[in-house]
Each structure stands twice: as structure tokens, then as C-alpha cells.
């Protein structure tokens, strides 16, 4: 069988040590790899490259399409971009997969029965970092959720469950509050779930879902969620198994995929031969499965489980009673290599199987958009205005804004951070210097032209009202594509 080319980066801090230990096991296990090494992280940042990765390294990633990456140190201070985010987003790695497994009774954990896989959306949500200061008091972050983005991640979660013989996929969202963005994620989940009749599909509001996950992780299997919740809950879930040092992760793209540990470069532990290489090693197991070397993954992963079971532990998981020998990074790698061919006795052995193609035509990962009839029915004009009062100010602002009514456009509401305050607001609503003024057509159900919006903004300017941004209100095929104000 021919070798698979992969790109490897040894990273910073403990990175080189845990990578050496991981590569040692892969080599001894007979992994069929041709390794290209690239430099990323601190040295590259310090050479004046704010992205932390050199142009020729991109070329290697695009060529091999498989990246085994040790953690790097992101320099403190402005100007440096997170390499992880840059690589994930630039190369379209839309799915972040983190299996979180307990190794009770060999690794101390409060959650002895746990085998959960977090599937986190990786490209959108608030992580676009599209942020603006809008007034003296208010900053904004845009949360963008797209239909193809949801389709990709939800389809991936169900396909992952199917290929890995998982029984249930759970979706976590906050669609009771964010009815449009998280609502779309939940809607797509419900559309795709019926394509997988053998897999149970359930959805939870993220807050209670997270509480249940922490309380009874044994009731969860695969969990799919938007970026922010996934970022937070995948760390929580990894820690619940006993140590973040034990979790590996895969970032899957349509072309290029990246495999890593979930932890960072732990600079204070660097150069001491102490760090646990298991997170990166388990990331490497996902890589072997991804490139079709299930035989090597099964061999190496079982040897690793046997090592943990034999009580050969690095300092981070070493405990009286379960640990027989506390070893260094290198020695741990050697202990795993020595056990190649052995299987765990108490822990469940793994058996990765090559995926047999069913012969059915696979559903597309995402679809072309259906173009709806889009009608402009109103506009939200955001205003920076302040009269020194945190309460009741809208009663003064309302009449000023009403002066710009005309030309078939009228003010229907003013809200402060989403809550309606005019007309007929509550005197107890706390307000700041940021107001959303909603204008609609004077005729019920009527549409507006862009020129009417432009003229409206001109009247704002003439009235000395400081408009800071606008959002168009559209109906899509007659259905409102905007949320009502709270209390509207
Ligand atoms: P960290 O994960 O490096 O360390 C947190 C704690 O966990 C430390 O106490 C550390 O000693 C311990 N730890 C982490 N990995 C361990 C291992 N393999 N074995 C034993 N103990 C381990 O997080 P941090 O200290 O917040 O960040 C350090 C640097 O890593 C920062 O520059 C950060 O930007 C970077 N970072 C990189 C990645 C990545 O490259 N994927 C991810 C997270 C953080």
C-alpha cells in the first residue's frame, strides 16, 4: 500500500515533545505516511509574519490536504492573528470534532460513564469577529448563520454518527431567543434528521441541554451545535473526562483537514519531558481513520488504552491507587509502542473499520439556495443619541424621530437594545445611547423603495439625528425576515 503524504508542524512550548512521542508511536505501528514538516507559530510570528504561517506552508497544506499540528503559542498583544482560526477558516474546515471519553477507573473522573462526541460548527456564528463600536456606550458583534453552513455541519454530524455506529444526535441551540439564527440551525437539523431513520434525533435549548450534559453525560452520544456553544461546551466536556490533556480533535474541511490536541502549548511545562502526549496522539488516531488507515489506528489506539490501563501515566493524570508508574512524555510514547498488538482488558477496545460504500447516492453536503421573492417592507435606523437619562429618555427622542416621517414612511417603534421603549414604553426600562428606530410603509403591508430609504436617511441628517447604521426589513416569499422588538 502506498504512503499518504501529510503535513506536520511541531509547534511551540510542549509541542515538539508531544509530537515526537506521537510520531514515534505512529512509526512503530507502521503508519504509512510521507511526512512534510512546516514551521508555524512563535518563530514565524516573531519574524514579522502576523499570521504565524509562511506562504510556502499553505502550499504544503493544499497539496497534502492532511495536517497534523502540535499546539502553538499565540503572542500576546494586538496585531497577531490566531493561527488556528486563520487555518480553519481559510481552508474551509467547517466541522470541529471532539470525542470525549472517560477512562474510569484508570483516570480519575466524576463522570465514569461517558463517551460523547461534540461536533462544533467552525466557520460562522459570532466567530467572524465582525465587531464595531457604534456609540459611546455600545459595541456590537454580528452573529451570522447561513443555511449552507448549517446544512454542512448537521449533515456531517449525522454522517459521522452513521459511520461510527452512533445511535443518537442531539442539537443544542438557543432558538427560543435567537429565532432567526439559531432557529435556522434547528430548522435545518429537523429537515436533515429524517434522512437517518436509524439514528435518534433530539434537540435541546443549550442552557438546559448543557446542564443535562454535565449531570448525566451517559445520556448523550453525538452533539451538534453552532460555533460559540460548541467552543465552550467541548472544553467543558473534555474536562469532565478527567483532563483536557486527554482529548484530541479533528477539523474537517471539504479538501483539507487538520488534527490536533485540544490543549495549548503549556509554555511553563516546555522542555521538561513531562507533558501528556495523549491529546495529540488521539488527534492522530482520527487522522489515520480519515486517511483510511483504520488498521494502524486500531493497533495504536488499543496499545494506548492498554498503557492507560496498566497505570503508566504522565503527571497530569497520575493519582495514588490508579497509577503504577509516573513517566515522562518520551517514556509514555515508548510504553505505548511497546504494547502494540495488545488490547485493553477492562476498557473497551476500539475497532475502526473501513467504511463500506452503500452504493446509495450520497446526499449533497449543502444545496444551492432557493431564491425567494424578497420585498423591502421597512428599515431599522440605528441612532446614537443621549440626553443624560438612563430612564424615560425615549419619550423625548420619539417626537424628534417622528419629525422625519413622510414620503410614505412612518416610525412604528423605537427600541433600546431590543426592547420596545416608544411609543408606550415602560418607565423602568434601562436605556443607553443606542436606539433602533423602526420605519415601515404608511400603507399596511406596503413595500418601500431603496430611494425612500435614502431620502429617509437624508431627513435624519437634516434633523441633526446621528444615524449609525441601517438594517433593511425584508419579507421573503411574504414571510417576515426580521424579528419583532421585545414588547412590540
Ligand atoms: P494550555 O492548554 O497550554 O495549558 C492549560 C493548563 O493545562 C496548564 O496548566 C498546562 O500545564 C496544562 N496542560 C496543557 N496541556 C497539557 C499536557 N499535554 N500535559 C499536561 N498538562 C497540560 O492553555 P494556556 O496556558 O491557556 O495557553 C498557552 C498557550 O497555548 C497560549 O499561547 C495559547 O494561545 C496557546 N493555545 C494554543 C492552542 C492550539 O494551538 N491549538 C490551543 C489553546 C491555547
The one-character DSSP state at 24 is: H
Between 242 and 207, the higher pLDDT residue? 207
Distance 316 CA to ligand 1 centre (A): 13
- With 80 as the cut, is the pLDDT of residue 360 above it? no
* pLDDT computed for residue 327 by the predictor: 98
The answer to whether 313 and 55 are in contact (CB under 8 A) is no
* pLDDT computed for residue 86 by the predictor: 86
* pLDDT computed for residue 485 by the predictor: 80
Q: What average pLDDT score do residues 276-281 get?
A: 97
Q: Which CATH number fits domain 374-480: 1.10.260.40, 3.30.70.1570, 3.40.1190.20, 1.10.3720.10?
A: 3.30.70.1570
- In angstroms, rounded to a whole number, what is the distance separating the alpha carbons of residues 328 and 314? 6
Distance 266 CA to ligand 1 centre (A): 4
Distance 315 CA to ligand 1 centre (A): 15
- With 90 as the cut, is the pLDDT of residue 354 above it? no
Confidence of residue 25 (pLDDT cuts 50, 70, 90): very high
Confidence of residue 186 (pLDDT cuts 50, 70, 90): very high
Q: Where along the chain do its domains lie?
A: 4-74+81-338, 374-480
Residues in the ligand 1 pocket, defined by CB under 6 Å: 14, 18, 71-74, 84, 245, 260, 263-267, 269, 275-276, 279, 316
Q: What average pLDDT score do residues 113-136 get?
A: 94
* pLDDT computed for residue 330 by the predictor: 98
Q: Omega before 423 cis (within 30°)?
A: yes
pLDDT in tens, 127-184: 888 999 999 999 999 999 999 999 999 999 999 999 999 999 999 999 999 999 999 9
Q: Domain 4-74+81-338 belongs to what topology?
A: Isopropylmalate Dehydrogenase (3.40.718)
Q: What average pLDDT score do residues 246-262 get?
A: 96
Helix (H, G, I), strand (E, B), or coil: what is residue 405?
Answer: coil
- In angstroms, rounded to a whole number, what is the distance separating the alpha carbons of residues 250 and 229? 17
* pLDDT computed for residue 187 by the predictor: 98
pLDDT in tens, 213-240: 999 999 999 999 999 999 999 999 999 9
Distance 264 CA to ligand 1 centre (A): 3
- With 90 as the cut, is the pLDDT of residue 75 above it? no
Distance 294 CA to ligand 1 centre (A): 29
pLDDT in tens, 306-351: 999 999 999 999 998 889 999 999 999 999 999 999 999 999 999 9
* pLDDT computed for residue 160 by the predictor: 95
Distance 260 CA to ligand 1 centre (A): 12
Ligand 1 pocket mutation pick from 266, 268, 273, 274 by most atoms within 8 angstroms of CB: 266
Closest CA to 278 of 262, 267, 291: 262
pLDDT in tens, 34-46: 999 999 998 898 8
Task: Give me the percent of the chain exceeding a pLDDT of 70.
Answer: 99
Distance 14 CA to ligand 1 centre (A): 9
- With 80 as the cut, is the pLDDT of residue 1 above it? no
* pLDDT computed for residue 69 by the predictor: 98
- With 90 as the cut, is the pLDDT of residue 245 above it? no
Q: Which three cell numbers stand for residue 446?
A: 406596503
Long-range (24+ apart) CB contacts under 8 A made by 194-199 are 195/158, 195/363, 196/158, 196/161, 196/162, 196/169, 198/162, 199/158, 199/161, 199/162, 199/166, 199/167, 199/168, 199/169
Through-space distance between the first and last CA atoms of the chain, rounded to whole angstroms: 66
Task: Give me the percent of the chain exceeding a pLDDT of 90.
Answer: 86
Which numbered atom of ligand 1 lies nearest the CA of 75?
Answer: 32
Confidence of residue 194 (pLDDT cuts 50, 70, 90): very high
Average predicted confidence (pLDDT) for the chain:
94
CA-closest residue to ligand 1 atom 4: 266
Q: What average pLDDT score do residues 346-359 get?
A: 86
CA-closest residue to ligand 1 atom 20: 275
* pLDDT computed for residue 83 by the predictor: 86
Of 59-73, 241-255, 359-373, give the lowest mean pLDDT range.
Answer: 359-373
Ligand 1 pocket mutation pick from 265, 270, 308, 326 by most atoms within 8 angstroms of CB: 265
* pLDDT computed for residue 167 by the predictor: 97
pLDDT in tens, 414-454: 999 999 999 998 999 999 999 999 999 999 889 999 999 99
Which numbered atom of ligand 1 lies nearest the CA of 275?
Answer: 19
Amino acid at each position: 500500500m502506498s504512503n499518504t503524504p501529510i503535513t506536520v508542524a511541531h509547534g511551540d512550548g510542549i509541542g515538539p515533545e508531544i509530537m515526537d512521542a506521537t510520531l514515534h508511536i505512529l512509526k512503530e505501528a507502521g503508519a504509512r505516511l510521507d511526512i512534510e514538516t512546516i514551521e508555524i507559530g512563535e518563530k514565524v510570528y516573531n519574524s514579522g509574519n502576523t499570521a504565524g504561517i509562511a506562504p510556502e506552508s499553505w502550499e504544503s497544506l493544499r497539496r497534502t490536504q492532511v495536517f497534523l499540528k502540535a499546539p502553538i503559542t499565540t503572542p500576546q498583544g494586538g496585531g497577531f492573528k490566531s493561527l488556528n482560526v486563520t487555518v480553519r477558516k481559510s481552508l474551509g474546515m467547517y466541522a470541529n470534532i471532539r470525542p470525549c471519553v472517560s477512562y474510569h477507573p484508570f483516570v480519575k473522573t466524576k463522570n465514569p460513564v461517558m463517551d460523547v462526541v461534540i461536533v462544533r460548527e467552525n466557520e460562522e456564528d459570532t466567530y467572524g469577529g465582525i465587531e464595531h463600536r457604534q456609540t459611546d456606550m455600545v459595541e456590537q458583534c454580528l452573529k451570522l448563520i447561513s443555511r449552507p453552513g448549517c446544512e454542512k455541519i448537521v449533515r456531517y454530524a449525522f454522517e459521522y454518527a452513521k459511520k461510527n455506529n452512533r445511535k443518537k444526535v442531539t442539537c443544542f441551540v438557543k432558538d427560543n431567543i435567537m429565532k432567526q439564527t439559531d432557529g435556522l440551525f434547528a430548522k435545518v437539523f429537523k429537515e436533515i434528521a429524517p434522512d437517518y431513520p436509524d439514528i435518534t434525533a433530539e434537540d435541546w435549548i443549550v442552557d438546559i441541554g448543557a446542564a443535562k450534559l454535565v449531570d448525566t453525560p451517559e445520556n448523550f452520544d453525538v452533539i451538534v451545535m453552532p460555533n460559540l456553544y460548541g467552543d465552550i461546551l467541548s472544553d467543558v466536556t473534555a474536562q469532565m473526562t478527567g483532563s483536557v490533556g486527554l482529548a484530541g480533535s479533528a477539523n474537517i474541511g471539504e479538501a483539507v483537514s487538520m488534527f490536533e490536541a485540544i490543549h495549548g502549548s503549556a509554555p511553563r511545562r516546555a522542555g521538561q519531558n513531562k507533558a501528556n502526549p495523549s491529546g495529540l496522539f488521539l488527534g492522530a488516531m482520527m487522522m489515520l481513520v480519515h486517511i483510511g488507515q483504520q488498521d494502524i489506528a486500531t493497533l495504536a489506539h488499543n496499545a494506548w488504552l492498554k498503557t492507560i490501563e496498566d497505570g503508566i501515566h504522565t503527571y497530569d493524570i497520575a493519582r495514588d491507587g490508579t497509577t503504577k508508574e509516573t513517566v515522562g512524555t518520551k517514556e509514555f510514547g515508548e510504553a505505548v509502542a511497546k504494547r502494540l498488538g495488545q488490547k485493553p482488558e477492562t476498557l473497551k477496545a476500539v475497532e475502526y473499520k473501513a467504511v463500506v460504500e452503500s452504493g446509495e447516492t450520497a446526499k449533497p453536503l449543502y444545496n444551492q439556495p432557493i431564491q425567494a421573492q424578497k420585498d423591502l417592507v421597512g428599515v431599522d435606523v440605528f441612532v446614537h443619541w443621549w440626553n443624560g437619562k438612563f430612564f424615560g429618555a425615549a419619550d423625548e427622542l420619539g417626537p424628534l424621530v417622528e419629525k422625519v416621517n413622510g414620503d410614505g414612511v412612518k416610525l412604528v417603534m423605537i427600541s433600546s437594545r431590543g426592547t420596545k421603549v416608544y411609543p408606550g414604553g415602560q418607565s423602568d426600562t434601562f436605556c443607553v445611547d443606542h436606539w433602533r428606530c423602526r420605519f415601515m410603509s404608511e400603507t399596511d403591508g406596503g413595500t418601500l423603495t431603496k430611494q425612500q430609504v435614502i431620502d429617509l436617511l437624508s431627513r435624519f441628517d437634516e434633523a441633526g439625528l446621528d444615524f449609525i447604521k441601517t438594517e433593511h426589513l425584508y419579507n421573503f416569499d411574504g414571510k417576515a425576515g426580521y424579528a419583532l422588538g421585545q414588547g412590540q
